[in-house]
A and B are shown apart, each in its own frame.
Chain A
Amino acid sequence: MTVEIRSAPHIKDDNGVVKIMRNVVWSLLPICGFYVWQYGLSALASLVVVTASCLAAEEFFLRLGRQSGDLGDWSATITGLLLALTLPAGFPLWMGAVAGFVAIGLGKAIFGGIGHNLFNPALVGRGFVQAAFPTAIATYTPSFLPARFSEFIPSSLALPFMTPADTATWVAGLNIDGVSGATPLARWKFEGVIASNWDLLTSISGHLAVGPSPLLILLCGAYLALRGYLDWRIPAAVLGSAALLAAALYPLNPEHYPEPGFVLFSGGLMLGAVYMATDMVTSPVTPLGMWLYGVLIGALTVVIRYSGGLPEGVMYAILIGNAATPMIERITQPKAFGTAPTKETRA
Chain B
Amino acid sequence: MKLFTFLRGEAFARGIHPPQHKDTAEMPITRVPFAPRLIVPLSQNVGRPAKAVVKVGQEVVRGQPLAEADGFVSVPHHAPVSGVVEAIRLNPTSSGPWTESVIIKSHAGSTQAVEWEEPQDLSALDAAGVIAAVQRTGIVGLGGGIFPTHAKLRVPKEFPVDTLVVNGCECEPYLTSDHRIMLERASDIMKGVALSRRLLGNPRAIIGVEDNKLDAIEALRAALPESGEVTVEAVPTKYPQGAGEMLIKTLLNREVPPDARSYSVGAYVQNVATLAYMGALAPRGRGFIERVITVAGTAVERPGNYLVPMGTPLRFLLDYVGAPQEAIEVIYGGPMMGQAVACLDAPITKGVSGILVFRARDLTAPPTRKSFPCIKCGKCIESCPMGLNPSTLGMLAAKRQYEPMADTYRLGACFECGTCSYVCPANIPLVQQFRVAKQVLRGSEKAA
Interface centre among A3, A280, A283, A344 (most CB of B within 10 A): A3
| A12 at the binding interface (Cβ < 8 Å) | yes
Tell me which residues across on chain A come within 8 A of B343, comparing CB atoms.
3
Query: Are A10 and B341 in contact, CB atoms less than 8 angstroms apart?
Result: no
Interface contact B342-A5, CB-CB below 8 Å: yes
Q: Does A216 make an interface contact (CB < 8 A)?
A: no
Of residues 227 through 261 on chain B, the ones whose CB sits less than 8 Å from some CB of chain A are 245, 249, 251-258, 260
Closest A residue to B12 by beta carbon equals A337
Q: Is the CB of B258 within 8 A of A338?
A: yes
What residues of B have a CB within 8 angstroms of the CB of A8 in the complex?
A: 331, 333, 335-340, 365, 416, 418, 431
Closest to A75 in B: B375
Interface-facing stretch out of B186-194, B285-293, B321-329: B321-329
Is B268 in contact with chain A by the CB < 8 A criterion?
A: no
The answer, among A15, A17, A280, A333, for a CB contact under 8 Å with B378, is A280
**Which A266-288 residues have a C-beta within 8 angstroms of B?**
280-281, 283-287
Q: Is A286 a contact partner of B389 (Cβ separation < 8 A)?
A: yes
Q: With a CB–CB cut-off of 8 A, which chain B residues contact A6? A: 329, 340, 363, 365, 367-368
Residues of B within 8 Å of A7, CB to CB, are: 340, 367, 429, 431-432, 435
The residue in A73, A113, A344, A346 that gathers the most chain B C-beta atoms within 10 A of its C-beta is A346
**Chain A, range 96-128, C-beta contacts under 8 Å to B:** 112-116
> Known: A2-B327, A10-B340, A12-B369. Is A281-B376 also a contact (CB below 8 A)?
yes
Bound Cα distance A73, B318 (Å): 41
Chain A interface residues (CB < 8 Å from chain B): 1-17, 19-20, 68-69, 73, 112-116, 231, 280-281, 283-287, 290, 329, 333-340, 342-346
B173 close to A (CB within 8 Å): yes
Partner of A337, one of B255, B327, B364: B255
B422 within 8 A of A: yes
Contact present for B325 and A1 (CB under 8 Å):
yes
A75 to chain B, nearest CB (A): 9
Residues in chain A near residue B368, CB distance under 8 A = 6
Q: Which of B10, B18, B413 contacts A336 (CB 8 A)?
A: B413
Smallest Cβ distance from B327 to chain A, in angstroms?
5
Query: B315 contacts which chain A residues (CB < 8 A)?
Result: 1
6 contacts between A and B (CB under 8 A): A8-B335, A8-B340, A231-B377, A287-B381, A333-B409, A346-B253
Partner of A338, one of B245, B376, B378: B245
Residues of B within 8 A of A (CB): 10, 12-13, 16, 18, 173, 245, 249, 251-258, 260, 315, 318, 323-331, 333, 335-344, 356, 358, 360, 363-369, 372-379, 381-382, 384-389, 391-392, 409-410, 413, 416, 418, 421-423, 425-427, 429, 431-432, 435
| Given A12-B421, A280-B375, residue A115 in contact with residue B426 (CB < 8 A) | yes
Contact across chains for A11 and B338 when beta carbons are under 8 A apart: no
Task: Tell whether A19 pairs with B425 under 8 Å between CB atoms, given A6-B340, A9-B365.
Answer: yes
The CA of A7 and the CA of B95, in the complex, are separated in Å by: 11
Instruction: Looking at the assembled complex, report how far the CB atom of B370 sits from the nearest CB atom of chain A, in whole angstroms.
Output: 9
State the 6 A-B residue pairs at the shortest beta-carbon distance, nearest first.
Answer: A115-B373, A9-B418, A338-B255, A5-B340, A338-B257, A285-B376
Q: Are B258 and A339 in contact (CB under 8 A)?
A: yes
Q: Give me 9 other A-B pairs in contact (C-beta within 8 A), A336-B388, A338-B386, A340-B255 excluded.
A: A1-B328, A4-B340, A6-B340, A7-B432, A8-B365, A11-B365, A17-B427, A281-B376, A337-B385
User: Which residues of chain A are near B358, meaning CB under 8 Å?
Assistant: 10
Partner of B331, one of A10, A15, A116, A231: A10
Given the complex of chains A and B, what is the CA–CA distance between A114 and B253 in angstroms? 41
Decide if A15 touches B425 in the complex (CB within 8 Å): yes
Q: Of all chain A residues, which has the CB nearest B383?
A: A13
Are B382's CB and A287's CB within 8 A?
A: yes
- Residues of B contacting A112 with CB < 8 Å? 373
A329 to chain B, nearest CB (A): 8
Q: How far is the CA of A283 from the CA of B335 in the complex (A)?
A: 33
- Taking CB atoms, residues of chain B closer than 8 Å to A343 are 253
Question: Are B366 and A285 in contact, with the CB atoms below 8 A?
Answer: no
